[in-house]
Amino acid sequence: MGTVAAHGLRKSFDKVQALDGVTLDVPDGSFFVVLGPSGAGKTTTLRAIAGLEKLDAGSVHLDGRDATGDTPAARDLAMVFQNYALYPRRTAYENIASPLRARRCSSSEIAAAVDRMSSLLHIERLLQRRPAQLSGGEMQRVALARALVRSPRAFLMDEPLTNLDLKLRVEMRTELTRIHRSLGATFLYVTNDQVEALSMADQVAVLKEGKVQQVGTPTEVYERPANRWVAGFVGSPPISLLACRAEGDRLVGAEGWTLPRPRWTTAEDGRALLLGLRAEDLSVEQRGDAALPGELYGLEPLGDRTVVDVRVGTEILKVKARPTVTGTQGERLQVTVDLDRAHLFDAGTGLSLSRAGR
């Protein structure tokens, strides 16, 4: 078993409210990701769950038992840090074996565990080398093997891929998902990288300034963001947000444009709104009934696609287009909007007004 339930965690450092009532329910065997920008409280949350940080309020239950007052050792959680140093004079094998030696496991148990972990991480051929004889990515794999060789109640991972180059990060994302599946263990993983979160997680909790903004599957968080902040933080290029209000059967932009009012919105007339449009739900290449007039502001070729920046009044819309798209700056354009996929937020509270379950 490996359920982790953190309820109402509060922690302040001097004047900083690092955790402001964080609640997370991590199911046994899940890959649960806490996603948030720098300073959101991710590391503090993990440290509090591990028992390394004394809480001002809140509780931590492990496998249904109150562990709030337990020592870190009694909690039986493994913490994997962003920077984990290997013992330089020991071979990769001895590095991986060290947590088991500290627990006085037998040599045959150790050999079996190191074998299994090194095959999962594809480092069998590196076991007799010392850290100085390994590349950065190989060292990272050895360090990860050393962290994963134990069988704790759950693994708490603090941005373990941050120090890798982009190619290796992408590779390790796939590897970690595979390792998670084969270990069947609970992973509580924190990151500021939304691609990592969306690609690996079963469940994502989005954290901002010590408060959980939303918990859901990657699809739910992307497709049905609870508020404008989550909508803006998750997704690349970022969602475009246009000020508008509902008037009868139209949405009227602060810049004078109008669009048909989406059938699904509950917003009453006159309320100040933000219309959220993702780049892939906009087009400068197709014609549709719902369109915004604008002018070409810039082109950002990204290889497999080009992001077209279109100025609508004083606001810039980011539109996904084919890589072959061309145009000149200032050229007049129509941006076709897929209103079924658009989002509406209250401009004051920022909360989503999109139809529930959409």
Q: Give me the residues that bind ligand ATP (CB under 6 A), please.
A: 13, 16, 18, 36, 38-44, 192
Residues in CB range of 213: below 8 A, 6 or more apart: 206, 207, 226, 227, 229, 230
Q: Kindly state the tokens that stand for 155.
A: 């693994």
**Bond preceding residue 237 cis, omega within 30 of 0:** yes
- Which range binds Mg ion by CB under 5 A, 41-49, 235-243, 306-314, 325-333? 41-49
Q: Which residues of 144-168 are buried (b: 16+ CB within 10 A; e: fewer)?
A: bbbbbbbebbbbbbbbbbeebeeeb
Min dist. Cβ of residue 196 to ligand ATP (A): 12
Min dist. Cβ of residue 161 to ligand ATP (A): 13
Min dist. Cβ of residue 319 to ligand ATP (A): 31
User: What is the distance between the alpha carbons of residues 5 and 20, in angstroms, rounded to a whole number?
Assistant: 16
Min dist. Cβ of residue 200 to ligand ATP (A): 17
Nearer to Mg ion, 43 or 91 (CB): 43
Nearer to Mg ion, 43 or 118 (CB): 43
SS3 (DSSP) at 158: strand
Our finding on whether 44 is near Mg ion (CB under 5 A) is no
Min dist. Cβ of residue 38 to Mg ion (A): 7
Cα angle, residue 32 at apex, residues 28 and 37 outer, rounded to 5°: 155
SS3 (DSSP) at 13: strand
User: What is the distance between the alpha carbons of residues 192 and 38, in angstroms, rounded to a whole number?
Assistant: 7
Helices (H), 127-165: 136-148
H or E element in which residue 243 lies: strand 240-247
77 neighbors 155 (Cβ within 8 angstroms): yes
| CB neighbour class for 293 (10 Å; exposed up to 12, middle 13-18, buried from 19) | middle
For 111, how many CA atoms within 13 A lie in the half-sphere containing its CB?
3
Nearer to Mg ion, 43 or 214 (CB): 43
Nearer to Mg ion, 94 or 159 (CB): 159
Nearer to Mg ion, 42 or 261 (CB): 42
Q: Which does 91 bind (CB under 5 to 8 A by kind): ligand ATP, Mg ion, none?
A: none
Min dist. Cβ of residue 158 to ligand ATP (A): 7
Tell me which residue of 170, 193, 146, 196 sits closest to 31, measured CA to CA: 196
Nearer to ligand ATP, 39 or 350 (CB): 39
Min dist. Cβ of residue 84 to ligand ATP (A): 15
User: How many residues of this chain bind Mg ion (CB under 5 A)?
Assistant: 2
Nearer to ligand ATP, 8 or 288 (CB): 8
Q: Which does 245 bind (CB under 5 to 8 A by kind): ligand ATP, Mg ion, none?
A: none
Our finding on whether 43 is near Mg ion (CB under 5 A) is yes
SS3 (DSSP) at 107: helix
Nearer to Mg ion, 77 or 231 (CB): 77
Nearer to Mg ion, 194 or 306 (CB): 194
Tell me which residue of 303, 300, 341, 340 sits closest to 319, measured CA to CA: 300
Q: In what order do the strands lie in the sheet with 282-283?
A: 282-283, 332-337, 291-301, 306-312, 315-321
List contacts with Mg ion (CB under 5 A). 42-43
